[in-house]
Amino acid sequence: MSFVDALRSRVRFGKFVSVGVVGAVCDTTVLVTLTQLGFLPEVATLVGIETAILVMFAVNENWTFADHGAADGRSLLGRLARSHGVRAAGSLTQFVVFVAIFRGFPLTVPLAGVNLWLIAAKGGGIAVGMVVNYVFESLFTWRVHRD
């Protein structure tokens, strides 16, 4: 199977996006909570990204890519390490897009004590980073094109 065919799997992509929604909720919840506690949005978004990476890896490991990769502990730790390395590109993309939107267009859209612009900027970063992550996770973490 070519890597293009592997990436075009609608079922796998749908699962990946579904898992991404779970990650986005975790990520955004951490961002909003930490900014409400006084953390800088840039720091809060980095903590949120790491939280989401761990949650999404666990779900992807057991659902999206459950039929890929050996089940032993060493292989699992290897995939987790690769996932972090691979997601570095998507995480950096997400962070840069978030900062560019949030700081580049300094708006305040308050609702119930929360700046909705913070959430919109986060959503923009997540959307762009998700595409990068899907490609890299599929090809390097779970190596779906090798089946």
Does the pTM exceed 0.85? Answer: no
Position with higher pLDDT, 55 vs 133: 55
Q: What is the pLDDT of residues 58-117, one digit of tens each?
A: 887 887 676 666 667 777 888 888 888 888 889 999 999 999 999 999 999 999 999 999
Q: Above 90 in pLDDT, residue 135?
A: no
Size of the chain, expressed as the number of residues it contains: 147
For the beta carbon of residue 111, count every other beta carbon within 10 angstroms. 8
Domain hosting 80: range is 3-146
Q: What domain count does the chain have? A: 1
- Residue whose C-alpha is closest to residue 20's, from 147, 143, 127: 127
- Going by the DSSP 8-state scheme, the letter that residue 118 receives in this structure is H
